[in-house]
């Protein structure tokens, strides 16, 4: 049985997917399988994946585009490993990532392990920031600070049971970590950077506010927090997200919350 199953969703990823896959092949821990789920790409994504003549790498081509959550969930249904890890097609792992985290999980009896990571620009030539993580994280703390990077997560499904991500338009990974922590599972972070996250857009603009709406959906729909609990947690999310953006090389745009007239209840619960 394979030890680690790696899930990599991909869509029109020809620019960076070769580097991402190479970072998996370069792992010092070698008992893994990589499932690349091509979400109906129109470029050379599939061709590049096929160029890797490695029996541990599997390409799954979808006939229609359904989004990253669908792709990850498909990968989760076919994964054979006890441990699950995630890597997007434009991000990079350091060679010791899997070995270091697996050793840490076994030593400390963890269900979920995450790590610090560095942020690189689109070209991958410049490090623009460093995302620090806490050694330990709780359910309540994660509600206020979505600090766990999906590219750093390893999950022990022998402890958590099979996992599926909710089909949201964003923040489905955070919703998954929250669900695991809410069940009382132990999670710890590795303070050393074990990955590189490729950050394209450096502007604090409407897409950040869109992500905040997704977090609101996680609070209300997935975690079923009360309106008061959600309003209480939301300012912490904004605060932590703002400083994380700036510290990782982001910049302010001319957009302001007042200009957008953002309602903290996000359009009155979308009139639900």
Q: Parse the chain into domains and list their residue ranges.
A: 4-198, 203-270
**How far apart are alpha carbons 28 and 102 in whole angstroms?**
12
pTM for the model stands at 0.85
> Using 50, 70 and 90 to split pLDDT, how confident is the model at 259?
very low
**What local confidence, expressed as pLDDT, does residue 17 receive?**
97
Q: Which residues contact 142 (CB under 8 A, 6 or more apart)?
A: 148, 174, 177, 178, 181
Task: Output Rg (C-alpha) for the chain, integer angstroms.
Answer: 18
Looking at the domain covering 4-198, what would its CATH class be? Answer: alpha beta
For 166, list phi and psi in degrees, rounded to 5: -65, 145
**What local confidence, expressed as pLDDT, does residue 246 receive?**
59
Whether the pLDDT of residue 252 is over 90: the answer is no
For 188, list phi and psi in degrees, rounded to 5: -140, 155
> Using 50, 70 and 90 to split pLDDT, how confident is the model at 208?
low
**What local confidence, expressed as pLDDT, does residue 249 receive?**
60
Looking at per-residue confidence, does 22 or 201 come out higher?
22
pLDDT digits (tens, 9 = 90+) for 84-142: 999 999 999 999 999 999 999 999 999 999 999 999 988 888 888 899 999 999 999 99
- 178, 143 Cβ separation under 8 angstroms: yes
In the structure encoding, which two tokens stand for residue 272, read together?
Answer: 């639900």
Whether the pLDDT of residue 264 is over 90: the answer is no
Q: Across residues 209-224, what is the average pLDDT?
A: 84
**How far apart are alpha carbons 103 and 97 in whole angstroms?**
10
**How far apart are alpha carbons 247 and 70 in whole angstroms?**
31
Q: Which residues contact 1 (CB under 8 A, 6 or more apart)?
A: 80, 81, 82
pLDDT digits (tens, 9 = 90+) for 62-85: 999 999 999 999 999 999 999 999
In the structure encoding, which two tokens stand for residue 264, read together?
Answer: 């903290």
**How far apart are alpha carbons 27 and 97 in whole angstroms?**
7
**How far apart are alpha carbons 115 and 119 in whole angstroms?**
13
């Amino acid at each position: 049985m394979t030890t680690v199953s790696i899930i990599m969703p991909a869509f029109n990823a020809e620019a960076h997917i070769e580097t991402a896959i190479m970072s998996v092949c370069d792992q010092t821990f070698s008992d893994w399988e990589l499932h690349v789920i091509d979400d109906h790409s129109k470029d050379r994504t599939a061709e590049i994946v096929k160029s890797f003549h490695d029996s541990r790498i599997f390409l799954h081509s979808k006939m229609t585009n359904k989004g990253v959550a669908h792709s990850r969930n498909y990968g989760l249904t076919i994964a054979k490993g006890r441990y699950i890890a995630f890597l997007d097609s434009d991000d990079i792992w350091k060679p010791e990532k899997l070995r270091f985290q697996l050793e840490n999980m076994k030593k400390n009896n963890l269900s979920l392990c995450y790590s610090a990571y560095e942020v690189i620009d689109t070209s991958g030539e410049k490090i623009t920031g460093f995302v620090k993580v806490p050694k330990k994280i709780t359910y309540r703390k994660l509600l206020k600070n979505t600090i766990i990077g999906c590219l750093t997560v390893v999950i022990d499904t022998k402890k958590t049971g099979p996992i599926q991500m909710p089909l949201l338009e964003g923040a489905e990974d955070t919703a998954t970590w929250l669900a695991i922590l809410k069940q009382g599972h132990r999670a710890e972070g590795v303070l050393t950077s074990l990955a590189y996250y490729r950050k394209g857009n450096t502007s604090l603009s409407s897409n950040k506010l869109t992500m905040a709406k997704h977090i609101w959906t996680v609070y209300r729909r997935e975690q079923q927090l009360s309106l008061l609990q959600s309003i209480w947690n939301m300012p912490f999310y904004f605060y932590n997200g703002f400083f994380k953006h700036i510290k990782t090389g982001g910049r302010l745009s001319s957009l302001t919350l007042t200009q957008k007239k953002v309602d903290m209840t996000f359009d009155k619960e979308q009139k639900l």
